[in-house]
Amino acid sequence: MNPFKFIAPVTALLVGLLILPPPATAMDAQAVMEAVDARDKGNTAISDTRMILVDRNKKQRIREMKSIRKEYGEDTKGIIFFLSPADVRNTAYMSFDWEKKEDDSWLFLPAMAKVKRIAAKDKSGAFMGSDFSYSDINGMDIKDWDYSFVKKSYQLDGVETWVIKGRPKPQAKERVAEETGYAKILVWVRKDNLVIVKAKYWVTQGQKIKYFKAEDIEEIDGIWTPLKLTMVTTEKGKVSHSTVMKLSNVMYNTQVKDGYFTPVSMEQGF
Amino acid sequence: MTSPRQCPIHPAILLIWILFFALALPAGHCKTPTAPAHAWEETELDSDMADPFAAADAAAAQTLAAPPKAASPFHMGGYLEFTTEIGFNKSQDKLSSLRPLIHLEGEYKISDRTRARVTVRGAHEAAYQLTHRGKPGTGDQDDEEWEGELREAYVDTSFADWIHLRAGRQIISWGESNYARLLDFISPRDMTRPGLMELEDARMPLTALRLTAETAHFTLEGVGIHEFPGDKLSGPAGDFDAFAPFRLPGVEIQDRETPDSQALPQGFGLKATKSFNGTDIALVGGRSYDATPILVFQNLTPGGGMALKPGYEKMSLVGISANRALGNALVKLEGVYRWDRAVQRKDFQEQITALTLAGQSLDRVRSFERRDQVEFLAGVEYSGLDDLVLLVEGKCLRTLDYESSLILSRYQYQTYVQANYNMWHETLDWELFWVWLSPGNGNILRLSGEYDFTDHFSMELGVAFYDADNADTIINSYEDMDRIFCRMTYSF
């Protein structure tokens, strides 16, 4: 695996995905997505992630990592330590996601013995060779999208959901396509806890469609958290590659020292 | 060795091709937004596939059922590697390398603030025996045939969350450049297979104390260097003999002499780094031994030749490095001023003749001159194309108070180009690496592909060309060393 592939800002940790605020009842689609976006992620989050990459021949590759995130007002600092496989062990990725300026990100490769800054405005690239893009991990900026209901009531696996479609706003279409790689999206949002439990993404290139689902949703430290995330990439109606992420040891609002988010911390490893 | 010969693919042509590829890619392959290839249907609510998740669920079920590994303060790992190189342009001994290598590493997290790490490596170059290559019996050659090395052996500890100490054998890498050594003056490098070795394998550890103090945006590092092993160089039986230009009839090159390790630092380095939004700037200063050895005249040999001994001289430097993220591009700059650097002379024979005619002692033969040097580097790393990362770096070295008896030219230039293209969810990585050196228009070009069969087993196949028929290029003696290579790695 080429470690230089960590080309886009990732910070926000995997545990930051899809964790939601109290349910709403009479909202329009835009308001629902704003509620999803404004969900409580916890001031800090720590988790272990096992990521299983499955190719079309069902051959598996497994990556394991430790993620730490801390909120600083509107800004977020995050660091990911890669634990396996052996050829990426002790690699670390750190990102500062600034609300009002471009993100900063750095990569430490133990073999190079150097922390190096990486520049990647483009977040549509694959995260560690998976089917999740960096924008999937980081989350998309809802201000760039127009949302509307497809169904205000839809039963999905026995739970009530909203089905919402999203298209980039005309003035942001090119930038959104560049940054996320998506032309439009369709999401299923659970009404009881505002978790996105299913999604469909139309990729701007290659006639690819990606399917997402969230499972094993548990309330941890008062925050609804999906512990199993699956993303499947299809091309012309056939599955080409899949990724399953399994989170464990998730902790919110514990004490995380600022010293985790420094170059020396990247070098020292977890 | 100096017969004119064309590189099968001239690097400049390849570069043009790469640039053309980058600029002329069909819009669908670039990150520029394009109209979808088909009309996007407002989708039906149910999936248009029976169950897109079925295959992933089935394949991952067993793996997910296994419990995660329990956290342990101990870690053991490493890799086995087997390398084969065929020098297809050589007139004899085409088997250039047949080299098994084992690399072991161990870590122990003693506490939240302290951890220890040890890595060891052993390798055997079987090609020497299999090809019955002449063995000159020098210590350097033995090192190359049988390698056993304690690489890293250090302890990391932190005080008060913002002061950190690393003590022991370690690799220290400074500067922005991926390849050039402007501010990266502390750790030596393995130069036995230039252009073939990944930089991560080429960096060598040394014994040092490194103290770091940091805040959120400012870092100050001080390094005391207690050991200086020098660059690892290939001997006369190797394909890449570092002293080949000097190995003329009658010239004896003795084993090199490295400075003794001492309890007191033999050199030091200081670095102050400030991070801004999108930019890092570092100021560096230091004094240490130059990693490049100097051949020092010893005496005339009984046959009328001369004996030269590789040794090391100290130099001082001060420099600055900076980077700037601009969209998907990272711009890098480095500059350094070195003073009192020992620069090799090449006129031993002329000096000996002149001194002999004048009836003066040969003790007055000058092997090197101390000169100041200025060196600049600029580079850009671009990652805005699908699965492709491009790196271009160029540097210029100027030797002040230049005179023609020095082995260096007044100006020396080098350009590095690297392109990495990733396929199949990072299962297959293609890499193009090209170095251009001036004077002499020397080129090293390597193209390789590495395929990960599993998380543990990978194989790399590649070809390397040395376009060095001009006698002025420092790689002139590598002209016939073109080769194909295969590297299999099992990591654990």
Residue of B nearest to A101 (CA): B277
Task: Indicate the pLDDT class of residue A11, thresholds 50, 70 and 90.
Answer: very low
Residue B21 clears pLDDT 60, i.e. is over it: no
Substitution target from A7, A83, A189 for chain B, most B beta carbons within 10 A: A7
Residue B374 clears pLDDT 80, i.e. is over it: yes
- Token digits for B243? 């002293």
pLDDT of residue B128: 84
Mean of the pLDDT values across residues B288-316?
A: 93
Euclidean distance between the first and final Cα of chain B, in Å?
Answer: 42
Mean of the pLDDT values across residues A200-212?
A: 90
Higher pLDDT, B140 or B223: B223
Q: Which member of B37, B173, B427 has the closest CB to residue A112? A: B173
Residues 138-197 of chain A whose Cβ lies under 8 A from any Cβ of chain B: 150-151, 154, 163, 165, 173-174, 177-178, 181, 183-184, 186
Q: What is the ipTM of this complex?
A: 0.83
Mean of the pLDDT values across residues A201-213?
A: 90
Mean of the pLDDT values across residues A58-81?
A: 93
Residue A25 clears pLDDT 70, i.e. is over it: no
Residue B172 clears pLDDT 70, i.e. is over it: yes
Chain A: give the shortest CA distance to residue B481, in Å. 27
A173-203: buried (b, 16+ CB within 10 Å) or exposed (e) per residue?
Answer: eeebbbbbbbbbbbbbbbbebbbbbbbbbbb
Task: Indicate the pLDDT class of residue B134, thresholds 50, 70 and 90.
Answer: low
CB contact at 8 A, B137 and B153:
no
- B53 and A213 within 8 Å at the Cβ level: the answer is yes
Q: Which of B471, B118, B182 is nearest to B321 (CA)?
A: B182
User: B452-478 pLDDT, tens per residue?
Assistant: 999 999 999 999 999 988 888 889 989
Residue A105 clears pLDDT 50, i.e. is over it: yes
Give the C-alpha distances (Å, rounded to integers) separating B341 from A30, B167, B369, B372: 66, 28, 8, 6
Residue B385 clears pLDDT 90, i.e. is over it: no
pLDDT of residue A129: 87
Sheet-wide strand order for B294-300: B251-253, B306-311, B294-300
User: B83-123 pLDDT, tens per residue?
Assistant: 999 999 988 889 999 999 999 999 999 998 899 999 999 99
Instruction: Tell me the one-letter amino acid at B207.
Output: T
pLDDT of residue A146: 95
Residue A196 clears pLDDT 60, i.e. is over it: yes
Q: Which member of A48, A111, A183 has the closest CB to residue B36? A: A183
Q: Which member of A53, A119, A213 has the closest CB to residue B326? A: A119
Dihedral sign, CA of B175, B180, B183, B189?
Answer: positive
Task: Indicate the pLDDT class of residue B213, thresholds 50, 70 and 90.
Answer: very high
Chain B: give the shortest CA distance to residue A175, in Å. 8
- B426 and A128 within 8 Å at the Cβ level: the answer is yes
As a whole number of angstroms, the distance between CA A63 and CA B426 comes to: 12
- B427 and A129 within 8 Å at the Cβ level: the answer is yes
The mean predicted confidence, pLDDT, of chain A is: 86
As a whole number of angstroms, the distance between CA B33 and CA B44 comes to: 25
Higher pLDDT, B14 or B418: B418
- A104 and B33 within 8 Å at the Cβ level: the answer is no
Task: Indicate the pLDDT class of residue B27, thresholds 50, 70 and 90.
Answer: very low
Q: Which of A121, A94, A141 is nearest to A264 (CA)?
A: A94
The DSSP bridge pattern shows strands B206-214 and B114-124 to be: unpaired
Least confident among A16-30, B64-78, B471-485: A16-30
Q: Which of B171, B407, B139 is nearest to B257 (CA)?
A: B139
Residue B217's CB: how many other CB atoms inside 10 A?
12
The mean predicted confidence, pLDDT, of chain B is: 87
